[in-house]
Amino acid sequence: MIPQDPQERDAVAGEYVLGVLDDEQATEIRNALATDRELRAAVTFWENKLHPLSALATPANPPAEIWDAVEARISPPARTPRPSVAPWRWTTGAFAAIAAALLLYVAVTPREPLQSAAPMVAVLQSSQTQSAGWVAVLGPGGLRLSKLTRQAPPQAHAYELWGIAPHTTRPVPLGVIPASGEMRLAELPQGVGAGATLAISIEPPGGSPTGHPTGPVVYTGVLRAT
């Protein structure tokens, strides 16, 4: 419940900006921001008023390779000149996204014991527009799912990730995708590997109550070796 009392609303917006709300409350606020103008104004107030406090953190030079990784994730690999960017830039940027996701994986994943398995990638496409919405990379450290689309689940809903092993039809729940659009799974269930389908459905905030997708499947893609 987003408080209607102005003082309560201001306080909860401040707690949201500070980052002290629990996940459930924070998700509720984040979802309400799109439609609640007063709440948005309250959050903006705190972001701006508390911002000077960030000067208490000492600036530091980040590692040089970070920019390269950012650039790889936002640009097509050929670096050819593009027309001015439209909202569908990620459709054509899907391959860049794959390359970038791999690069990211190699560059910043904390080093874990290496297994011999080669990385696999799935690009999950929108069931409606066929545009690339998500990219999943399965490597030695597990599965990493990253959001490419700006699309968010409908209000008071969440996206849930499913895996469907090859030659089977039963989706196995892999978890509710955080609102940040980033998810990591240390390991996948048996059978969810090469050739498996990954799918994203729209579910209640805590995920499907039944263990099966209850809402529409909005993105799908197949895990393939690179």
Single residue of 28, 31, 39, 73 touching other proteins by CB under 8 A: 73
**What is the closest distance, in whole angstroms, from the C-beta atom of residue 158 to other proteins in the complex?**
15
Comparing CB distances to other proteins, the nearer of 20 and 225 is 20
Rounded distance between C-alpha atoms, residue 182 and residue 123, angstroms: 14
Cβ neighbours, 10 Å, residue 104? 19
CB 160 within 8 A of CB 176: yes
Verify binding: residue 27, other proteins, rule CB under 8 A: no
Single residue of 1, 57, 78, 114 touching other proteins by CB under 8 A: 57
Which range binds other proteins by CB under 8 A, 9-17, 119-127, 201-209, 213-221?
9-17
Q: Are strands 197-203 and 132-139 parallel, antiparallel or unpaired?
A: unpaired
> Angle 23-33/6-18 helices, nearest 10 degrees?
110
Single residue of 70, 106, 117, 156 touching other proteins by CB under 8 A: 70
Q: What are phi and psi of 196, to 5 degrees?
A: -75, 150
Question: 17: which 2 tokens?
Answer: 């900006």
Verify binding: residue 102, other proteins, rule CB under 8 A: no
**What is the closest distance, in whole angstroms, from the C-beta atom of residue 221 to other proteins in the complex?**
19
Rounded distance between C-alpha atoms, residue 77 and residue 92, angstroms: 11
Vertex 28, ends 22 and 30: CA angle to 5°? 100
User: Which amino acid, 188?
Assistant: L
**What is the closest distance, in whole angstroms, from the C-beta atom of residue 174 to other proteins in the complex?**
16
Verify binding: residue 225, other proteins, rule CB under 8 A: no
Q: Which residues bind other proteins (CB under 8 A)?
A: 7, 10-11, 14-15, 17-20, 23, 44-63, 66-67, 69-71, 73-75, 84-87, 89, 104, 108, 110, 150, 178, 180, 182, 184
